[in-house]
Amino acid sequence: MQKKIILIMLMALSSIFAHAQQISYIKDDGAWYQVYDEKGKKICTLSRQSVGEVIGVAGSTFTSRQGAWIYIWSKEGKKLQTKSAR
């Protein structure tokens, strides 16, 4: 029983630390964007066609603009929010 509790606690802690990583930079690779964390590890790759133009990075999210729309993305490449750019 104690081993299960310890294992669950370790899994929870590792999950917390994994999500604590922030975006260090986003590499523009022609048709693709590659997102890197503070340790230089690639978090995800997204197509430029779906993201648009990256206009800002803050913490563990980044912002892009495509036409009349602003998108906020997570470091994992999940679209979190969409807003009109007007």
Q: Which domains does the chain have, with CATH numbers?
A: 22-84 (2.40.10)
Q: For residue 1, is pLDDT > 90?
A: no
The secondary structure of the chain, three-state, reads CHHHHHHHHHHHHHHHHHHHCCEEEEEECCCEEEEEECCCCEEEEEEHHHHCEEEEEECCEEEEEECCEEEEEECCCCEEEEEECC
Q: How confident is the model at residue 21 (pLDDT cuts 50, 70, 90)?
A: confident
Contacts of 67 (CB under 8 A, 6+ apart): 52, 85
The per-residue pLDDT for 16 is 56
The per-residue pLDDT for 86 is 81
The per-residue pLDDT for 19 is 57
Region 42-57 average pLDDT: 95
